[in-house]
């Protein structure tokens, strides 16, 4: 039987992307590891998200979630409004402080489900990166995920009999 692979190419339209976690200046080893990691990667799910999620990638104002049923894209725009708060100690021209007034998030979700597909496909990530994430969510350490690996691409195997999908940048 011949095997087919369908590739999904995610294109980064942004000129640069920033990592959401900023390492401490006191930890040059962490900074060095993040500098070596590509800014386009898939984050594995080690229990930090619902079981249906297999991998996540973040590109600018979009998240792409690879799930057991397909891919979910959520596009968002964060708007932060600030006002200038004058300080009494110094004239306004010399010193200003900013006070955040309001933050809003607007977005859309596109859910692409593969109809009548395998709902428990196997995945084969490739191109492991040197960096990793740690998720310390809440106070229950049994729900934390450490050394969450980053990959360049993900192959979702047998979404249909003999058909794989590959998601890459």
Q: What is the pLDDT of residue 18?
A: 31
In a domain, 119, yes or no: yes
In a domain, 102, yes or no: no
Domain count for the chain, please give it: 1
Q: What is the pLDDT of residue 20?
A: 36
pLDDT (tens digit per residue) in 17-44: 233 334 445 566 666 665 555 578 999 9
Tell me: pLDDT of 152 over 90.
yes
Tell me: pLDDT of 154 over 70.
yes
Retrieve residue 53's tokens.
């999620």
CA 145, CA 137: separation in Å to the nearest integer? 8
Tell me: pLDDT of 113 over 70.
yes
Inter-CA distances, 102 with 82, 87, 95, 126, Å: 7, 21, 22, 41
CA 106, CA 76: separation in Å to the nearest integer? 6
In a domain, 143, yes or no: yes
In a domain, 78, yes or no: no
In a domain, 90, yes or no: no
In a domain, 37, yes or no: yes
The backbone torsions φ and ψ at residue 71, rounded to the nearest 5 degrees and listed phi first, read: -135, 135
Domain that residue 42 falls in: 4-69+112-168
pTM value is 0.69
pLDDT (tens digit per residue) in 43-95: 999 999 999 999 999 988 899 999 999 999 999 888 877 766 655 555 555 55
pLDDT mean over 150-165: 94
Tell me: pLDDT of 119 over 50.
yes
- With contact defined as beta carbons under 8 Å apart, do 57 and 10 qualify? yes
Residue pointed to by tokens 């976690």: 21
């Amino acid at each position: 039987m011949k095997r087919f692979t369908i590739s999904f190419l995610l294109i980064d339209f942004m000129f640069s992307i920033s990592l959401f976690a900023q390492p401490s200046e006191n930890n040059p080893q962490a900074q060095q590891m993040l500098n070596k990691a590509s800014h386009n990667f898939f984050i594995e799910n080690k229990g930090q998200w619902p079981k249906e999620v297999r991998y996540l990638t973040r590109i600018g104002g979009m998240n792409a979630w690879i799930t057991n049923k397909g891919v979910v894209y959520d596009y968002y725009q964060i708007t932060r409004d600030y006002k200038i708060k004058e300080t009494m100690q110094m004239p306004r021209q010399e010193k200003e402080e900013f006070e955040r007034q309001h933050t809003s998030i607007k977005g859309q979700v596109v859910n692409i489900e593969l109809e009548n597909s395998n709902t428990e496909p196997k995945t084969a990530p490739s191109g492991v990166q040197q960096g990793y994430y740690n998720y310390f969510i809440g106070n229950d350490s049994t729900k934390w995920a450490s050394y969450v690996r980053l990959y360049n691409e993900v192959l979702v195997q047998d979404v249909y009999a003999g058909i794989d999908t590959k998601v890459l940048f």
